[in-house]
Amino acid sequence: MHERTLSDLHTFLGPDGLLLGDRIGERHRGDIHGNLGVPPIAVARPRDTAEVSRVLATCSAAGIPVVTHGGRSGLVLSCSTREGELVLSTERMTAIESIDPDACTAVVQAGVVLQTLQERLEPDGLSFPLDLGGRGSCTIGGNIATNAGGNRVIRYGMTRELVLGIEAVLADGTVLDGLKPFIKNNTGVDLKQLFIGSEGVLGVVTRAVLRLIPKPQDTAVALCGLADFAQVRALLRHLRQRLGGDLTAFEVLWKDYYTRYLTLPKARLAMPDAHDFYVLVETSGSRDDGLQERFERALGEAIEQEIVENAVVAKSGAESLQLWEMRDLALEVSRTMGPSSGFDVSLRIADMAAFAGDLAALARGIDARCETLVFGHAGDGNLHLGVSHPLEVADGKSRVESAVYDLVRRYGGSVSAEHGIGVTRLAYLGHTRTEAEIATMRALKNTLDPDWILNPGRVFLREPAGSRS
């Protein structure tokens, strides 16, 4: 089946542009976390937009489903391939095409790795402020497709806020050239928004114009120990007031996270695990405006006002990295729980403490051995959760997941703050989005990809659940 089509693509893309048979490696079957699907029928590795267009037009005509792979660092199983799928990998689309220091913009191909871009911008005194633990693997195209968040959303917003223009290819090969470098461009429907955060179901992002900032000249980082969540909220208000726009991260770790982190071989004891909450705070700005002093003064005030019990301020770049490492090692910390399910939810900040308490009670109610882990970008209203379900707990995974998502729904939260829906959360999309909203998503899909060849079975299904008799 499809031999003729694949042979045509092979001729067009060349032997390195279309991998077949034994040349398809494990990495083309799934994500970097080891979640492998079945071998794809082929792996297309286009080098540019024209090649992406040709691949999609060809697959559309032949009815071949296509799953797009960026850096495969996604956390919702979208990259695990299913029977009959062709992988379109952006791994050869790695050009940083131009950097405009006046306009503070960069034009890049979708396969550029986030960290590569960050490093390339440094000598020019510029920065792309998106930053997340997957920086060494994830690509700009994947960041756009997932509307990635990360550590500095509190200051710079999600990826959506950092993209000025997008070039994308529709399922039938049509190229939408929206590579305008303008902040202001009120010319009808803003089509780029369709591709940001829609996880590749409406089109393949091929190039983007990104918004840059002057590289902050100075950064200060501290870890604070606090007694309760009311103090965490007080610290957030205090630092926002004292540091304004210079507050670039506010990451909260519940005590259980910190004690688990301390069991890792790489861990370094920054302060005793005597506090119920730990907050990693970062501020960035220009060197000559006394940033460090303002930061230390603000933390000193927080100690005087008994908001903070203890604070450790990094004295060097290396110490800052060490403090950040405890947050960047989140996946390793989660693994210390054994079999567990991870969640990435949005909640009102005011509800977080009560939610975490209900979560622990819910886990214990399922089985006394189920434990919880809570941490995340609390300043953005985003928590990451882990709930363990030891193998002895019957149906532990499904019971935990449905109970947690029900709890999120009761709190009026979102079942995905930043990682997306993918396959993992497909059944729970309706906990956060209404039927009318999901029907509108389907209508868009029917218009832009009428044969549903792009990332099928991810995000939302062709027919509403229960519509088949």
Ligand X SMILES: Cc1cc2nc3c(=O)[nH]c(=O)nc-3n(C[C@H](O)[C@H](O)[C@H](O)COP(=O)(O)OP(=O)(O)OC[C@H]3O[C@@H](n4cnc5c(N)ncnc54)[C@H](O)[C@@H]3O)c2cc1C
**What does the binding site for ligand X look like in residue numbers (CB under 6 A)?**
67-75, 78-79, 90, 110, 132-134, 137-139, 141-143, 145-146, 148-150, 199-200, 204-205, 331, 418-419, 455, 458
Nearest residue (CB) to ligand X, 79 versus 280: 79
Q: What percent helix, strand, coil does the chain show, rounded to 5?
A: 40, 20, 40
Of 115 and 292, which has the nearer Cβ to ligand X? 115
**250 bridge partner residues:** 281
Cβ proximity to ligand X: between 85 and 307 the closer is: 85
Angstrom distance (rounded) from CA 131 to CA 324: 12
CB of 73 or CB of 424, closer to ligand X: 73
Looking at the Cβ atoms of 37 and 70, the one nearer to ligand X is: 70
Cβ proximity to ligand X: between 114 and 311 the closer is 114
- What is the number of the residue whose Cβ is closest to ligand X? 142
How many Cβ atoms are within 10 Å of 293's Cβ, its own excluded?
10
Mention every residue, 6+ apart, whose C-beta is less than 8 A from residue 67. 40, 78, 79, 81, 82, 85, 86, 87, 88, 200, 455, 458
Q: Residue 110 or 291: which CB sits closer to ligand X?
A: 110
Structure tokens given for 185 = 């461009």
> Shortest gap between Cβ of 137 and ligand X (angstroms)?
6
- In the chain, count H helices and then E strands: 14, 18
Q: How far is the CB of 265 from ligand X (least distance, A)?
A: 17
**Where would I find the H helices in 173-287?**
192-195, 229-243, 255-261
Alpha carbon distance 87, 80 (integer Å): 10
Q: Which is nearer to ligand X, 67 or 308 (CB)?
A: 67
Give me the least distance between CB of 379 and ligand X, in Å please. 13
**Which one, 160 or 294, has the nearer CB to ligand X?**
160
Taking the complex as a whole, how short is the minimal distance between the CB of residue 403 and ligand X, in angstroms? 24
Distance in Å, CB of 240 to ligand X, minimum: 21
Read off the tokens for 62: 């032949």
Instruction: CB nearer to ligand X: give 70 or 386.
Output: 70
CA 228 to chain centre: 28
Supply the minimum distance, in Å, between the C-beta of residue 351 and ligand X: 21
Question: Angle CA(12)–CA(452)–CA(147) in degrees, nearest 5?
Answer: 90
Q: Tell me how far apart the alpha carbons of residues 399 and 140 are, in angstroms, rounded to a whole number.
A: 35
CA–CA distance, 241 with 24 (Å, rounded to integer): 54
> Least CB distance from residue 449 to ligand X, whole Å?
12
Q: Are strands 126-127 and 213-214 parallel, antiparallel or unpaired?
A: antiparallel
Nearer to ligand X, 388 or 455 (CB): 455
Closest distance to ligand X from the beta carbon of 346 (Å): 12
Shortest CB 72 distance to ligand X, Å: 4
Compute the distance between CA of residue 50 and CA of residue 175 in angstroms, rounded to an integer.
8
Q: How far is the CB of 458 from ligand X (least distance, A)?
A: 6
Query: Taking the complex as a whole, how short is the minimal distance between the CB of residue 96 and ligand X, in angstroms?
Result: 15
Q: Are 264 and 333 in contact (CB under 8 A)?
A: yes
Three-class DSSP category at 227? coil
Which is nearest to 337 in space by CA: 251, 425, 257, 419?
A: 257
Strands, E assignment, 179-326: 204-211, 213-214, 218-226, 247-254, 277-285, 310-313
Of 30 and 396, CB closest to ligand X: 30
What DSSP state is assigned to residue 115?
Answer: H
Strands 86-89 and 66-69: parallel
Query: What is the sign of the dihedral through the CA atoms of 422, 425, 427 and 433?
Result: negative
Shortest separation between residue 80's beta carbon and ligand X, angstroms:
10
